[in-house]
Amino acid sequence: MRIRPSLILALFLGFSLMSMLSRCRRTAGQPVEGSYSTVSESEWNIILILKKGGIAEIHVESWAMGDYDDRSTVKTEGRWRLEGNSITVEYNGIKDRLIFEPELSLSVLGYKGGAPGLIQRGTFAEDSILRDYRLWKLPHTFPSLLEPPGTVRGTQTAGSRVLARTGIRKGVC
């Protein structure tokens, strides 16, 4: 029996693709790795970055009104793990338990529908950074709160800046 080189190449490429896809942790059919951010009308923001290998970073940003480019950032490092659709983030002796929602409601922002995001499950520690904030996956695909109603954009400006700064590429888990 003769095996064709094209069959060997096809099998090699198929197995290679499967091994790359299996490295992305998924829930609800979506990769979990990436950056998640609060949406605020104030001069602060929290970004949770879930990296491959269980590495987590939390960035708390604050800035003077109208001076986003001169913001200060406090970075906290930790670990994370996925169990079903539940994500546990551990940092500074704190365990936050978050639920991945493929359609986390945007109603608190005054929008209809939902977008992929994380929300705290149950009670949280008094000194939790993530508290009960809703965190939507970046880039946000809904208009910024600072834009006039009816404005339609591809991504929220701050979300694009966060992605560029963290090195996370859109569409890459």
Res 24: pLDDT: 53
Mean pLDDT of all residues belonging to the chain: 77
Torsion angle (degrees, nearest 10) of CA 81, 86, 90, 94: -160
Residue 123 clears pLDDT 80, i.e. is over it:
yes
Res 30: pLDDT: 76
Please give the CATH number for the structural domain made up of 25-166.
Answer: 2.40.128.360
Q: Please provide the DSSP assignment of 98-151 as one string.
A: EEEEEEEE-GGGT-SSEEEEEEE-S---TT-SSTT--EEESSP-S--TTSPTT-
Chain-centre distance for alpha carbon 90: 16
User: Measured between alpha carbons, how far is 110 from 115 in angstroms, rounded to an integer?
Assistant: 13
Q: Where are the domains of the chain?
A: 25-166
> Quick one: average pLDDT of 115-122?
93
Residue tagged 């949280």 (tokens): 124
In the structure encoding, which two tokens stand for residue 35, read together?
């950056």
In the structure encoding, which two tokens stand for residue 83, read together?
């169990």
Res 108: pLDDT: 87
pLDDT digits (tens, 9 = 90+) for 36-68: 999 887 899 999 999 999 999 999 999 999 898
pLDDT digits (tens, 9 = 90+) for 11-29: 444 444 343 333 455 555 5
In the structure encoding, which two tokens stand for residue 172, read together?
């890459």
